[in-house]
């Protein structure tokens, strides 16, 4: 089936009809060609009606790891001939063993088109010059996100990571107007500018649009405000995806800082309680783990896959921009959640407090001993360069975390520039045992 033009603007009934039509084909493709799901479903066909899909069991990444170990390199959930695999990527491996991701030519095309919706919603289009600063090696976010940027009609400069001095010179020499990177990457560039480009500020580079993804953090109003002030650009969440399922299917528009779900014609979303796996309604105010099903995927189709991402649904129905998918915020990953005296704490919650303090750089690290639950939250927070911190800063941060999150933190102040920076995904939670 061809992709639906302007699918992100379809009304609910129109989208439901498209989804059902695609499921009619996809259920037969999966049940007929995926050894993993043949076994997982006991040889039974999945339900005909997409609305009945919750009757099927959930699968998760641990199952996929076992599957790839049993039949390398693509796993028993490969539902096409090896010769159909047109591209191979790997997940980042930040939460465990990296996984091989197989895509057919059509899989790659669909990924680029749908991801382009996110970049376009964020404001990128013809006339922009955008430098892409994600890893171009085997990680899905490099080449694939490059293709989503190109799908908007913008001029794309494929820079990748490293050589930050060259990057800064390139931005200025080519009059680049937009940057695609992780939310933590500007801090890396700021340090290089301060050290090697005296007399130049980040705002002098002339960037007008920041397209961010790959990690959490941009939900923080303080971080957004800082990016606007220091860099003079408009920060947009333009790139949310789950590598095992789909590289980029959500982004924000100019009217809303929340993410718009933009992949409804090729992905069927569900929300479940992460503890009980109970299905939850997709409506404003509901929080739960995102579960995704491919409605269009040749090589490695997944059905009812637990993403591990915990979302908060903020709105349903049309946005001012006209897009009709539900809007949401990413609270965090279920495996990054820290339980402190029965309270679930995600790194994004901590970031919101840290970014609100002008004496801190915004960099932090949660270093845990064991798996918990914990009675205190140990946090290293980095001081901002060039300031004299108040005498009771650690106590101030401790109090702010208590007021905002309801947990007791053990706050350690780190000198400016001492916490690790990375051009890739930044790990905020370190479990040492």
Instruction: Give per-residue pLDDT as tens, 106-141.
Output: 999 999 999 999 999 999 999 999 999 988 888 888
Instruction: For residue 65, count other CB atoms closer than 10 A to its CB.
Output: 15
Spatial CB neighbours of 80, under 8 Å, sequence gap ≥ 6: 33, 102, 104, 298, 299
Q: Residues 391-419: what's their mean pLDDT?
A: 88
Q: Which pLDDT band holds residue 11 (cuts at 50, 70, 90)?
A: very high
Q: Residues 209-214: what's their mean pLDDT?
A: 92
Residue 424 reports pLDDT greater than 60: no
Residue 98 or residue 44, greater confidence:
44
Helix axes 185-196, 164-173, angle to 10 degrees: 90
Per CATH, the homologous superfamily of domain 1-333 is ANL, N-terminal domain (3.40.50.12780)
Residue 191 reports pLDDT greater than 70: yes
Q: Residues 326-345: what's their mean pLDDT?
A: 80
Q: Is 62 helix (H, G, I), strand (E, B) or coil?
A: helix
Number of H helices, E strands in the chain: 10, 20
Chain position carrying tokens 């107007």: 177
pTM of the model: 0.82
Q: Residues 218-237: what's their mean pLDDT?
A: 91
Token couple for 194? 């301060």
Instruction: Give residue limits of the domains in the chain.
Output: 1-333, 337-431
Residue 18 — φ and ψ, nearest 5°? -65, -45
Q: Are strands 129-132 and 377-383 parallel, antiparallel or unpaired?
A: unpaired
Q: Residue 252: its pLDDT value, please?
A: 96
Nearest C-alpha neighbor of 15 from the set 376, 341, 264: 264
C-alpha dihedral over 282, 286, 292, 295, to 10 degrees? 10
Least confident of 44-53, 135-144, 153-162: 135-144
How does 318-329 read in b/e, with b if 16+ C-beta sit within 10 Å? ebeeebbbbbbb
Q: Residue 332: its pLDDT value, please?
A: 80
Instruction: Decide: 57 and 47 in contact? Cβ < 8 Å.
Output: no
Q: Residue 347: its pLDDT value, please?
A: 79
Instruction: Decide: 132 and 236 in contact? Cβ < 8 Å.
Output: no
Q: Residue 156: its pLDDT value, please?
A: 98
Residue 369 reports pLDDT greater than 90: no
Residue 180 or residue 92, greater confidence:
180
Token couple for 98? 């990296």
Q: Is 376 helix (H, G, I), strand (E, B) or coil?
A: coil
Question: CATH classification of 337-431 is 3.30.300.30, yes or no?
Answer: yes
Q: Residue 15: its pLDDT value, please?
A: 97
Instruction: Decide: 333 and 305 in contact? Cβ < 8 Å.
Output: no
Question: Per mean pLDDT, which of 83-92, 334-343, 346-355 is the most reliable?
Answer: 83-92
Measure the CA angle with vertex 196, ends 193 and 202; round to 5°: 15
Q: Residues 56-79: what's their mean pLDDT?
A: 95
Give the C-alpha distances (Å, rounded to integers) separating 357 from 347, 360, 369, 393, 404.
16, 6, 27, 10, 13
Residue 373, preceding peptide bond in cis (omega within 30° of 0):
yes
Please state, in angstroms and rounded to a whole number, the distance separating the CA atoms of residues 356 and 295: 41
Q: Residue 303: its pLDDT value, please?
A: 98
Instruction: Decide: 79 and 29 in contact? Cβ < 8 Å.
Output: yes
């Amino acid at each position: 089936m061809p992709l639906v033009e302007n699918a992100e603007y379809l009304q609910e009934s129109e989208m439901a009809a498209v989804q059902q039509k695609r499921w009619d084909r996809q259920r037969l493709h999966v049940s007929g060609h995926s050894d993993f799901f043949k076994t997982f479903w006991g040889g039974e066909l999945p339900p005909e009606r997409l609305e009945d899909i919750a009757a099927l069991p959930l699968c998760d990444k641990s199952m996929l790891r076992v599957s790839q170990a049993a039949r390398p390199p693509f796993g028993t959930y490969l539902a096409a001939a090896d010769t159909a695999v047109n591209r191979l990527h790997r997940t980042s491996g930040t939460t465990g063993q990296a996984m091989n991701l197989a895509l057919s030519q059509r899989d790659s095309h669909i990924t680029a088109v749908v991801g382009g919706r996110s970049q376009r919603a964020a404001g990128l289009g013809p006339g922009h010059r955008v430098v892409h600063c994600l890893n171009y090696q085997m990680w899905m976010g490099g080449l694939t996100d490059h293709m989503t940027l190109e799908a908007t009609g913008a001029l794309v400069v494929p820079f990748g990571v490293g050589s930050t001095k060259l990057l800064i010179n390139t931005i200025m020499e080519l009059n680049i107007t937009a940057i695609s990177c992780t939310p933590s990457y500007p801090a890396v560039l700021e340090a290089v500018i301060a050290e090697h480009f005296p007399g130049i500020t980040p705002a002098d580079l002339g960037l007008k649009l920041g397209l961010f993804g790959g990690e959490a953090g941009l939900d923080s109003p303080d971080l957004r405000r800082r990016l606007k002030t220091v860099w003079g650009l408009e920060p947009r969440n333009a790139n949310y995806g789950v590598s095992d399922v789909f590289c980029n299917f959500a982004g924000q528009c100019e009217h809303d800082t929340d993410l718009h779900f933009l992949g409804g014609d090729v992905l069927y979303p569900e929300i479940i309680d992460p503890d009980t796996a109970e299905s939850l309604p997709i409506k404003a105010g509901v929080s739960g783990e995102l579960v995704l099903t491919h409605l269009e995927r040749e090589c490695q189709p997944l059905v009812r896959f637990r993403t591990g991402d915990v979302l908060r649904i903020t709105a349903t129905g049309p946005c001012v921009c006209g897009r009709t998918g539900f809007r949401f915020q990413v609270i965090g990953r279920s495996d990054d959640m820290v339980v402190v005296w029965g309270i679930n704490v995600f790194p994004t919650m901590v970031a919101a407090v840290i970014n609100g303090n002008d004496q801190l750089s915004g960099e932090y690290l949660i270093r845990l001993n064991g798996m918990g639950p914990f009675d205190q939250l140990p946090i290293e927070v980095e001081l901002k360069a060039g300031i004299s911190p108040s005498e009771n800063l650690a106590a101030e941060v401790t109090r702010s975390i208590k007021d905002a999150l309801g947990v007791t933190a053990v706050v350690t102040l780190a000198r400016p520039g001492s916490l690790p920076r990375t051009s890739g995904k930044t790990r905020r939670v370190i479990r040492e045992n």
